[in-house]
Amino acid sequence: MAFASLLEHVGGMGRFQVVSVLLLSLPVLMMASHNLLQNFTAATSDHWCRPRPEANATGLNPEALLRVWVPHGERCRRFVKPQWWLLEANGSEPNSSWPETEPCSDGWTYNRSVFTSTIVTEWDLVCSSRGLKQLAQSLYMAGVLVGGVFGGLSDRFGRRSVLTWCYLQMAAMGTCSSFAPTFTVYCLFRFLTGMAFSGVVLNSVSLSLEWMPTHMRALVGTFMGYCYTTGQFLLAGVAFAVPDWRRLQLVVSLPFFGFFLYSWWLTESARWLVMVGKSHQALRELQKVARINGKKEEGDKLDIETLRSHMEKEMTLSKTRHTAIDLVRTPVLRRISFCLCFVWFSTSFAYYGLAMDLQNFEVNIYVIQLIFGAVDIPAKLMSILTITYVGRRFTQAIALILAGLAILANVLVPRELRTVRTALAVFGKGCLAASFNCVFLYTGELYPTVIRQTGMGLANTMSRLGSIMAPLVKMAGELFPALPFVIYGAAPVVSGLVAAFLPETRNMALPETVEEVEGRTQSQKDEAQHLQVPLQPTPSSNSTGPQ
C-alpha cells in the first residue's frame, strides 16, 4: 500500500506509464508470430512418391507419371513397376489388391500451390518421419518451459535487465533458425527461441504491472492481451505474403533487434529495487518518472528517508532470502500455488490442442487463423468487464468451465457437421483466450513482490507442460477419435472448479511480502464472518430467522 501511494505522488497513470506500456506491448504483437509459427512453417502439403529416375525418360507428363507409378490416394508407397494399363481410357483400380508396392526411396513430390517451402517439404517430414514435425513444436515448447528460469533470474537481477537479454536472444536465435542447414540445428535454435519467449512474456507483464496504479492493472493487462490477439491477425497476413518458411522465420525475428535497442530506455521496477535494498536507485527512478509525468516538484520532494519511512516494513522483511520454497511454505500461498498450477496447465493444454491444429479443420488455413484470432476480441472484452466489475475469481472459473463444456460438446456432434464442430472449437478457444487474459493478471496480483517472478516462473512451467502434453494427447485420436476432445474438455472444467478456491484480488493493492498475503486472506475471512453475523437469530429477536 505504501508504494501505491508513492506511485500516485509521482503522477499515477501518467505519460511515463502510457509510453512504457506501448513500448512493452510492441514485442507482444510479435509473440503470436513465434508461438503459432509452425502452423505455417511446418504445414503439411499434399504429397506423393516420386517415381523412379528412369521414369523421366518415358516422356510422360507429370500427371500420367503419377497415375502409373503411385496408387490412387497413397502418400507413402509407390508401385515397384509402372502400371501402364492405368493409362488406358477404361483403366480402373483392381477390386482385390494393388500390385506390389515399395516405400518412397527416391523422395516425395509436393503440392506447392499454397506453401512454396516448409520444413516438411525441405526435410521430408512425412510418412515414417511425420512425427518429427510434432517433435519440432514440442522442443520449442520445451524451450518455453525451460525459459521459466528467467522468472527467477529477474527476481535476482532485475526485470529490465533480463527482458533486454531475452529480446536479444529471441532476435538472434530466431534469425539463426531461418538459416539452419539441418533439421537438428533448426530444432536447437527453436528451443533457444522458446526460452527467450518465456523471458519476454514473464518480464513484460511484471514490469508493466509494477509501474501501474491499482485501478489500471486490469485495463493494462487486457490491452497487452489484445496486442497478442492483433499479432494473430498479423501472423496470418505475413504468412500469406511470405509463403517461404525461411523468409517467414526471418521476417518475424528481425524486429526483435529493434526491441532490444530501445529496451535500454525502459525503467527498472522501483518496487523490485526497494525490495532488494537498492533504495537510492529506486529513488532516482521515481524522480525520473515524476519528471516525465510533469510532477517534477513532487519528485524533488522525495528523499531516501521518505522512501524508507513509507516502505520500512517491506524493506525489513525483504532482507530475508526468498526461494521457490516460499511458494508452498505458508498455507495461503500453498493453496494459491496449487490452484494456479491446475489453472495454467489446463488453459495452455486445451488452448494449444486447438490452436496448433488448424489444418484439421479442413478450412483455408489463413482464414481459420483469422477466425481464431478474431474470437479473442469479444472474449477478452467480456473478460475485462467481468474482471473489473465482478472479480478475477469468477472470471477465471467461468471461462475455464465454458471452454471445457464447449470442447466436450464436440464429442456429441457428428463429424459430418463440420461447421458446428468448428464453431464449438472457436467458442472454446475464445473462452481459453479469456482465461489466459485473466490468469496473467491474476497471478501477478496473487503473489507478493518478493517472489512474484518466481511464482510467474512456476506458472509458466505448468503452462508449458500443458502445451507439451497437448500434441501427445492428439496422437491418441488415431486409436479413439473422441478421446482427445474428452481430455481437452475435462481438464478446463476441473480447473475451473479449482479456481473457485483462489482469493479475490479486485480493487486491492499489489502485496509486497509473504506475510501480507497471509494476513490479507485472514482479514477477508474475518470480514466474511462478520458480515454473516446479522443473518443469525439472536435471543432478543422476535423472529425465527430467515424463512
Q: Which of helix, strand or coil describes residue 426?
A: helix
Reported as a pLDDT band with limits 50, 70 and 90, residue 282 is confident
What's the chain's length in residues? 547
pLDDT tens for each residue of 402-421 = 999 998 888 888 777 778 87
> What's the pLDDT at 539?
43
Q: Above 50 in pLDDT, residue 229?
A: yes
pLDDT of residue 547 exceeding 50: no
pLDDT at residue 534 above 70?
A: no
Average pLDDT on 33-47 reads 82
Identity of the residue numbered 246: R
User: Mean of the pLDDT values across residues 517-532?
Assistant: 64
User: For residue range 334-376, what is the model confidence (pLDDT) as tens digits?
Assistant: 999 999 999 999 999 998 888 777 666 666 788 888 888 888 8
Model confidence at 198, pLDDT cuts 50, 70, 90, reads confident
For residue 521, name the pLDDT band (cuts at 50, 70, 90): low
CATH superfamily for 1-39+128-318 is MFS general substrate transporter like domains (1.20.1250.20)
Give CATH 1.20.1250.20 domain extents, the chain: 1-39+128-318, 322-527
Position 151, amino acid: G
- Beta partners for residue 102, in sequence order: 78
Report which of residues 319 and 466 the model is more confident about: 466
Task: Return the top range by mean pLDDT from 5-19, 23-37, 247-261, 456-470.
Answer: 247-261
Average pLDDT of span 309-319: 62
Q: What pLDDT shows up at residue 485?
A: 81
Phi-psi region of 107 (alpha: psi -120 to 50; beta: other; left: phi over 0): left
Give the model's pLDDT for residue 393.
Answer: 92
Mean pLDDT, rounded, of the chain: 80
- What's the angle, vertex CA 280, arms to CA 275 and CA 286, rounded to 5? 80
Positive or negative CA dihedral for 290, 296, 298, 304? Answer: positive
480 or 93: which leads in pLDDT: 480
Least confident of 23-37, 73-87, 318-332, 481-495: 73-87
pTM of the shown model: 0.74
| pLDDT score recorded for residue 249 | 92
- What fold is seen in the domain 322-527? Growth Hormone; Chain: A; (1.20.1250)
Q: Which three three-digit cell numbers place residue 377?
A: 476480441
Among residues 142, 83, 122, which one has the least CA distance to residue 470?
142
Q: Give tens-digit pLDDT for 95-113.
A: 456 677 777 777 777 877 7
pLDDT, average across residues 461-473: 83
Here the cell at position 324 is 521457490
Rounded Cα gap, residues 177 and 14, in angstroms: 40
Q: Give the range with max mean pLDDT: 42-46, 255-259, 424-428, 460-464.
A: 255-259
